[in-house]
Structure 1
Amino acid sequence: MIDPHEEVAPMQRMPPLVVHIVRQFSPSRGGLEDVVSNLCGQLMRQGWRVRVVTLDRLFRNPAVHLPASEMIGGIEVVRIPWRGSSRYPLAPAVLNHIADADLVHVHAIDFFYDFVALTRFMHRKPLLATTHGGFFHTPKYARLKTLWFHTATRLSGLAYDALIACSQSDAAMFRQIAGSRLRLIENGVDIEKYADASSSKPTRRLVTVGRFSDNKRLDRLLDVLADLRSRCSDWQLDIIGTPSDLSTDALRAMIDQRALFEAATIHVGVDEDEVREIFGRASLFISASEYEGFGLVAVEAMSAGLIPVLHHNAAYQALAARHRCIAVTDFARPAEGAAAIEAALARLQSNPLMRDEAKAAAGGYGWARVREAHMSLYRDVLQSRKPRTL
């Protein structure tokens, strides 16, 4: 028999479950995947429960079906089937895996962003979305994309409790459709994995990192390398990444067409230790990417002490405005790009402390700040959705 006067301990409430929805995840590698993985790890260390829902096939290898569920680094990963184009993969089974969520966090503006918004009347979950550059990564179909952004993307956005812009350039873009519901939380960067990895002495060796895709404009990097070598044959370029809409064979053909087979080296699927080793031979990081949501890889390079020379897209210009060690140029003009690279090396040679300046600048993007900003927003959204008592 229960004593009515006995003090009863309160029931232990389970920590909130945040379901992160992202189109590609491990074993796929890239900036978006790294951000989601790091955010989940940070949240778990603070006691939150997390789940990642993603697609069951990688865009670069769609014939292979991945396991339906898996634990990766302590993260529960659920994979669902999809059909259609990799640009807008259709995967309605996502709803089967958010029923027990306290909050749903969608990463990137794609099918998931629209579908979870459209079906909110069914699942009734608090919703957040992070922009990750939207879908303006290339100038292709620019008018259609702009029309879609101001209609479908704006309409879907009304279902979200908040939209998170991961860069200053994204904030400027999405504020047009989200207004006061926009929150700026710039991407966190793992600044430890490549810390201080670059060559301690200035060298004519360049490195670039990223998917082999059209918007990264590796062709322009190779044109610039050819221009550099016409001035000094010592210049070398390491290209680190994984195939995407540009295959390794196609990239190798581009190198051969420019007679750069002795100057440009491709590294596919290398692990972090190998990346550190490659960074250890280089002094400059270069990127001709036409569009970036934030510029995460550039910040990782800075943490290694590499000096970035970047194409003048909006995200890179925003980074350069904050950090003197970054140079921006127009990689569409090989001579101009080559001159910017030579100037960056000359500055490093005359001022070796630039390397320390780059590392210090990267330190401001550590995950502690980003984690706290996300948790604060999560709590605000969850609190606002609690039933009010009289």
Structure 2
Amino acid sequence: MESMNASRPRSVPGFGRGTRIVQIVRQYTPSRGGLEDVVSNLSRSLVDRGFAVRVVTLDRLFQAPEVALPTSEIIDGVEVVRIPWRGSSRYPVAPEVFRHIADADLVHVHGIDFFYDALAWSRPFHRKPLVATTHGGFFHTKNYAAIKKLWFGTATRASGWGYDALVCCSQSDLRMFEPIAGAKVRLIENGVDIGKFAGLASEAPMRRMVTIGRFSVNKRLDRLIETMAALRDLAPGWQLDIVGSPSDQTEADLRGAIAARGLENVIRLHVGISNNDVRKVLAQSSLFVSASEYEGFGLVAVEAMSAGLVPVLHGNEAYQALAARHQGLVVTDFSRPDLAASAIEAAFQRLSSSAALRSQMISGASQHGWDGVCDQHVALYREVLGPRLQEAFA
């Protein structure tokens, strides 16, 4: 699938034209999610700057492992190579990755998984400069907490020393990884595609809200459903759109939970819909809500801001950091449905009384655009490659 974008790539001083960056990530398009969006946007931005970019990813989606994806294709100027894997989706083993880094000038691994460990321990053989981005590590849920903590303090720590730099995409990641990686850590917060949903939120305040993301246990959609039950009693007329795709929760799980509370008429479930259909949902909404217990950065919340939606968020560490930077965001406790319902209604009342709040959200989101974030990555690549640039690309 070739991109229709025919813009001319611009050269980056210090890099030879066609410098090859290999991005490695376990899931990529057609999978949809925050990690996939980050790698896709970074890759496209690098291509626009004249880099040759290859994404190496797995050949089956975790939510549809029976479907084999194309082994290679070009998407928006990015070469995408998909390789076989075995084992668990928590730690998919894919040794064929080594075949696809031989011509790389730099390898950038996304996530803390098999690829992170394997590329580090094999570095004496492949001898490629290595960068990794943490993306929250593997602490998205509290499951197996003791084992995760042990693994993090031993295997993850040891693998980290095989990297030239570890990119932390949030302040919480920085605090997590700095004790085990020291001076190798860099803070580069995730960029956001602020043009995708720009200004789409309803201009007239509406008692309608949306949440977007995978159907994962850590997203605590169960708490959103309970909050809707509380809202029904507090201020009738509220509606919720849940947009996403199955993960460790299925569509049937969610529909059952909605039916159990008798909320079929006020909660709409949108499974695997296109961005065009997401835009239609946003155009009828005023608030974005997330009860997630863990976020690496809060990318979808910023996308919601770019649309002009007012976010009402659970007080996890990433959301608290985001709210500290942007006035108007609301942090509450979704473990208490009555409290969360009151916060949602109060946010709606503020929006109804302040025409500037919608514009304030859009303006705040603009701080997270991809141009500046890509520039930070290019600067890091230049630092890591150092003298090699003069030798290889003169």
Equivalent residues of 1:133, 1:170 under 8 A apart: yes
Which residue matches 1:163? 166
Equivalent residues of 2:17, 2:51 under 8 A apart: no
Which residue matches 1:228? 231
Higher mean C-alpha deviation, range 17-26 or range 347-356:
347-356
Q: 1:71 to 1:387 in 2, by over 3 A?
A: closer
% same residue: 61
With normalisation by structure 2, the TM-score equals 0.94
Q: CA deviation at 1:15?
A: 2.4
Q: C-alpha offsets along residues 127-162 of structure 1, whole Å, 9 cap, x if unaligned?
A: 000011110100111121111111111100000000
d(CA) in 2 for partners of 1:387, 1:371: 22
Q: CA deviation at 1:293?
A: 0.6
Equivalent residues of 2:177, 2:185 under 8 A apart: yes
Pairing of 1:1-390 with structure 2 (within 5 A): 14-384=17-387
d(CA) in 1 for partners of 2:144, 2:16: 49
Q: 1:332 to 1:280 in 2, by over 3 A?
A: same
3-state SS of the aligned residue for 1:315? helix
Q: What amino acid does structure 2 have at the position aligned with 1:102?
A: D
Q: CA deviation at 1:296?
A: 0.3
Q: What amino acid does structure 2 have at the position aligned with 1:335?
A: D
Q: What amino acid does structure 1 have at the position aligned with 2:266?
A: A
Q: C-alpha offsets along residues 67-102 of structure 1, whole Å, 9 cap, x if unaligned?
A: 111112221111111011000001111001001100
d(CA) in 2 for partners of 1:79, 1:101: 16
Q: C-alpha offsets along residues 98-127 of structure 1, whole Å, 9 cap, x if unaligned?
A: 011000000011111011101111100000
3-state SS of the aligned residue for 2:382? helix
With normalisation by structure 1, the TM-score equals 0.95
Listed as ranges, the gaps of 5+ residues in structure 1 are: 1-11
Q: What amino acid does structure 2 have at the position aligned with 1:198?
A: A
d(CA) in 2 for partners of 1:276, 1:115: 40
Q: CA deviation at 1:252?
A: 0.7
Q: CA deviation at 1:56?
A: 0.5
Q: What amino acid does structure 1 have at the position aligned with 2:358?
A: R
Give the paired residue count: 377
Q: C-alpha offsets along residues 41-72 of structure 1, whole Å, 9 cap, x if unaligned?
A: 00001000100000011000001111111112
Q: CA deviation at 1:384?
A: 4.8
* Runs ≥4 residues deviating over 4 A: 384-388
3-state SS of the aligned residue for 1:26? coil
d(CA) in 2 for partners of 1:182, 1:347: 40
Equivalent residues of 1:206, 1:285 under 8 A apart: yes
3-state SS of the aligned residue for 2:386? helix
d(CA) in 1 for partners of 2:219, 2:231: 19
Equivalent residues of 2:234, 2:341 under 8 A apart: no
Q: CA deviation at 1:386?
A: 6.3
Listed as ranges, the gaps of 5+ residues in structure 2 are: 1-14
3-state SS of the aligned residue for 1:106? strand
Higher mean C-alpha deviation, range 362-371 or range 375-384:
375-384
d(CA) in 1 for partners of 2:152, 2:158: 9
d(CA) in 1 for partners of 2:387, 2:69: 38
Q: What amino acid does structure 1 have at the position aligned with 2:93?
A: L
Q: CA deviation at 1:233?
A: 2.2
Q: C-alpha offsets along residues 327-361 of structure 1, whole Å, 9 cap, x if unaligned?
A: 11111111111111111111111212111111110
Equivalent residues of 1:202, 1:345 under 8 A apart: yes
3-state SS of the aligned residue for 2:70? coil
Please tell me the root mean square deviation across aligned C-alpha atoms, in Å: 1.3
d(CA) in 1 for partners of 2:343, 2:180: 37
Q: What amino acid does structure 1 have at the position aligned with 2:368?
A: Y
Q: C-alpha offsets along residues 307-331 of structure 1, whole Å, 9 cap, x if unaligned?
A: 0000111100100111111111111
Which residue matches 2:7? none
Equivalent residues of 2:45, 2:374 under 8 A apart: yes
Q: What amino acid does structure 1 have at the position aligned with 2:159?
A: S
Equivalent residues of 1:126, 1:385 under 8 A apart: no
